[in-house]
């Protein structure tokens, strides 16, 4: 089964690239054996920081990308 190519282009949401780069940096630094569990913990920490009134990493990353 093949999927027809589409002329539509997908746009990366603002801040997403910066968010993934941060995850990639931490994965390379920590070298976890379970990358998926590590990523879940990483994003959970970011969510907790945002909910505690800290900075929103996505909004901050979006400002850096501009």
pLDDT of residue 8: 76
How many whole angstroms separate alpha carbon 15 and alpha carbon 56? 10
pLDDT score at 58: 74
CA 66 to chain centre: 17
Rounded to 5°, the CA angle 9-35-58 comes to 50
Give domain limits for the chain: 16-64
Q: What is the pLDDT of residue 66?
A: 62
48 versus 59: which is more confidently predicted? 48
Q: Look at the pTM and tell me if it is higher than 0.85.
A: no
């Amino acid at each position: 089964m093949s999927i027809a190519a589409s002329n539509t282009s997908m746009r990366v949401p603002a801040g997403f690239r910066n968010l993934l780069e941060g995850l990639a940096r931490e994965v390379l630094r920590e070298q976890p054996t379970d990358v998926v569990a590590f990523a879940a913990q990483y994003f959970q920490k970011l969510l907790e920081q945002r909910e505690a009134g800290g900075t929103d990493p996505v909004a901050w990353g979006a400002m850096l990308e501009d």
